[in-house]
Amino acid sequence: MEEAVILELKRNSAEYSKVVDDIVRIEKKIFPKHESLSTSFDNELRKRNTGLLYVSHHINADIAGYVMYSSPSSLLSFITKLAVKEKYRRQGYGEALLKAAISKCQARNIQRISLHVDPSRMPAVSLYQKLGFRIDSTVEKYYSADRDAYRMYLDLDIDDC
C-alpha cells in the first residue's frame, strides 16, 4: 500500500465530481442493487455529519476503496459503507481506511462506532474484529428476506486520542 494515500473528500473540492463518479462505479460493481447507494451517493454525502475517506494511488490516481461514515449524534458514528476494489483486496487498504475513519471519530470524541455486516462476508467480519469491533447481535432480514446482518460496535476510549 506504499504507493497509496488516504484522502478526505471535500464537497467543494475540484475533484469532487470525478471521485464521486469513480466511487459510484465501485458501488455498482461490489454491492447488489438493493444495497448500493449508487443512485443516491451524492445526496448521502451532502447530509450533515457524513464523511468519506478514499484511498488513491499516486501513480495512476485509481481509487482502490472508500469508507463512508456518519455521526447522527455527538457520541455515536456509523460506518455506512466500506468497499475495496477486488484487485486491491488483502493488501491493507480496508484496514487503513477503517483505521482512518476510527481516527476521525476519535478526534471528534465519538464514544461508539457501529456498523452492520453480512455474516457470510468473513473477510470483512475478521477485519472489523481485528480492529476491536464486537458483535452485538444478529439483525434478521437486514439486507433481504434471506440475508441477516451482524450489528457490530467499537467503543472508543477518548483518553487514548
In this prediction, the residues of the chain whose per-residue pLDDT falls under 70 are: 1-3, 38, 58-60, 158-161
Rounded-to-integer distance, Cα 155 and Cα 14, Å = 35
Residue entry with cell 455498482: 28
3 state DSSP class of 3:
coil
pTM of the predicted model as reported, rounded to 2 decimal places: 0.88
pLDDT tens for each residue of 110-154: 999 999 999 999 999 999 999 999 999 999 999 889 999 999 999
Q: Which three cell numbers stand for residue 126?
A: 475478521
Rounded-to-integer distance, Cα 112 and Cα 133, Å = 10
Residue 44: exposure state from Cβ atoms within 10 A (0-12, 13-18, ≥19):
middle
Residue 141 region by backbone torsions, left for phi larger than 0, else alpha for psi between -120 and 50, else beta = left
Average predicted confidence (pLDDT) for the chain: 88
Task: Let me know: does 65 contact 83? Beta carbons within 8 Å.
Answer: yes
Enumerate domains of the chain plus CATH numbers. Answer: 4-160 (3.40.630.30)
